[in-house]
């Protein structure tokens, strides 16, 4: 196996691919109410173009691909892309991050296409609050999606909750209890400033609250090689993870690069120096040329992000780059 390293000796093995900038929800911490200017359909990378990028990336040492968005399941025929990518030599895992609303419909098809596992974003268990946070979604659809993912073996299913003060932080214990009741793997994520919302709850505080239920025991990651630190409550089947981009940045162990839906290869969610692959792809660039551009993007990955010093304008970041 080949290894790919950036300028700071970090091994880059993971490619996140945004397949669309569109979403069927409008989460208050992610998108402005009016939405964002959308990319014309013809400007989205086609599935064949994405496959070419992944083939080139796999040849350089990328072995894990995650599909995201926008909401990836609203892109037509996503299972076709899953099948195409999971058949590429060197790609050991294709996974998906989704809001879960369409997962009940697609879980079986995705599994059959070769998808290994899903992360589902869910910030509340309460129907009215879900409608407030997502601006119009139904929590029952997501719960049915999580169930379908589990039944169809897209495991482990990880549940991502962005904790927001006075919005959903009173549900930290309810989510933690689900690691006992349902064996959920819950990850508490710190709010990043992609809208005007400033209701950050530091992971250290969330952890203190969880420990009302018992002392958290550190445990290894249940799957994947991401930024979460994992723990288990005594006797729980599921785990609790913390993702702390604001108070404990994990840049020194970052292993990822990101492909936007319109074909820009970004070395970091929080940087603007993407490298355009769409034009070369549409001019029939060779695999070697795409590899060279991937190496250029990896080489431009900075040592750390500047979220905490407020040096970067973050608005609408998730929709543009893909979460
Ligand atoms: N639509 C899919 C979903 O909901 O999972 C994929 C895209 S979404 C942008 C990916 C992840 O980014 C979600 O888990 C979401 O909670 C997270 N996210 C979006 N905005 C965020 C913010 N301001 N701070 C922290 N996480 C955020």
Is the shortest distance between the CB of 137 and ligand 1 below 6 Å?
no
Is the shortest distance between the CB of 30 and ligand 1 below 6 Å?
yes
Tokens 């590429």 correspond to: 88
Ligand 1 centroid–CA 323 distance in Å is 5
Cβ atoms of 237 and 183 closer than 8 Å = yes
The protein residue whose alpha carbon is closest to atom 9 in ligand 1 is 323
pLDDT tens for 230-276 read: 999 999 999 999 999 999 888 888 999 999 999 999 998 877 779 99
From 126, 124, 128, 106, select the one nearest 115 (Cα to Cα).
106
pLDDT band at 284 (very low <50, low <70, confident <90, very high): very high
Tell me the percentage of the chain whose pLDDT exceeds 70.
Answer: 94
Name 159's bridge partners: 120, 186
pLDDT band at 203 (very low <50, low <70, confident <90, very high): very high
pLDDT band at 313 (very low <50, low <70, confident <90, very high): very low
**127-134 and 139-151 are packed helices; what angle lies between their axes, rounded to 10 degrees?**
100
Q: Which atom of ligand 1 is nearest to the CA of 192?
A: 24
Per-residue pLDDT, 312: 44
Per-residue pLDDT, 314: 57
Q: Is the pLDDT of residue 316 over 70?
A: no
Per-residue pLDDT, 207: 98
Is the shortest distance between the CB of 184 and ligand 1 below 6 Å?
no
Per-residue pLDDT, 226: 80
**Mean per-residue pLDDT over the chain, rounded:** 92
Work out the angle at residue 187's Cα, subtended by the Cα atoms of residues 217 and 102, and round it to the nearest 5 degrees: 145
Go through the chain and tell me how many residues it has.
323
Q: How do beta strands 117-121 and 158-163 pair?
A: parallel
Region 155-162: what's the mean pLDDT? 97
Q: Is the pLDDT of residue 96 over 50?
A: yes
The protein residue whose alpha carbon is closest to atom 8 in ligand 1 is 323
Q: Is the pLDDT of residue 115 over 90?
A: yes
Per-residue pLDDT, 281: 98
Q: Is the pLDDT of residue 303 over 80?
A: yes
pLDDT tens for 161-170 read: 999 999 999 9
pLDDT band at 132 (very low <50, low <70, confident <90, very high): very high
70: left (phi over 0), alpha (psi -120 to 50) or beta: left
Residues near 48 by beta carbon (within 8 Å), at least 6 away in sequence: none
Ligand 1 centroid–CA 2 distance in Å is 31
Ligand 1 centroid–CA 248 distance in Å is 18
Work out the angle at residue 21's Cα, subtended by the Cα atoms of residues 34 and 295, and round it to the nearest 5 degrees: 140
């Amino acid at each position: 196996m080949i290894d790919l390293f950036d300028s700071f000796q970090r091994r880059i093995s993971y490619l996140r691919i945004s397949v669309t900038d569109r979403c069927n929800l409008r989460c208050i911490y992610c998108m402005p109410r009016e939405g964002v200017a959308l990319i014309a359909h013809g400007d989205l990378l086609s599935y064949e173009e994405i496959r070419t990028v992944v083939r080139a990336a796999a040849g350089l040492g990328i072995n894990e691909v995650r599909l995201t968005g926008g909401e990836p399941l609203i892109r037509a025929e996503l299972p076709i892309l899953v099948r195409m990518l999971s058949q590429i030599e060197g790609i050991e895992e294709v996974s998906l991050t989704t809001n879960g609303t369409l997962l009940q419909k697609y879980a079986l098809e995705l599994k059959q296409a070769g998808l290994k596992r899903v992360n589902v974003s869910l910030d509340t268990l309460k129907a009215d609050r879900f409608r407030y946070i997502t601006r119009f979604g139904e929590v029952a659809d997501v719960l049915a999606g999580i169930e379908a993912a589990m039944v169809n073996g897209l495991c482990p299913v990880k549940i991502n909750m962005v904790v927001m003060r006075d919005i959903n932080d009173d549900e930290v214990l309810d989510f933690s209890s689900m690691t006992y009741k349902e064996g959920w793997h819950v990850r508490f994520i710190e709010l990043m400033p992609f809208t005007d919302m400033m209701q950050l709850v530091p992971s250290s505080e969330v952890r203190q609250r969880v420990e009302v239920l018992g002392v958290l025991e550190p445990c290894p990651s249940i799957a994947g090689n991401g930024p979460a630190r994992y723990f288990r409550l005594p006797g729980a089947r599921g785990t609790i993870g913390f993702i702390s981009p604001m108070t404990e940045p994990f840049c020194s162990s970052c292993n990822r690069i990101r492909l936007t839906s319109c074909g820009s290869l970004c070395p970091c969610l929080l940087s603007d120096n993407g490298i355009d692959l769409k034009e070369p792809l549409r001019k029939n660039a060779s695999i070697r040329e795409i590899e060279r551009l991937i190496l250029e993007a990896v080489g431009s990955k900075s040592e750390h992000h500047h979220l905490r010093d407020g040096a970067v304008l973050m608005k609408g970041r998730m929709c543009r780059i893909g979460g």
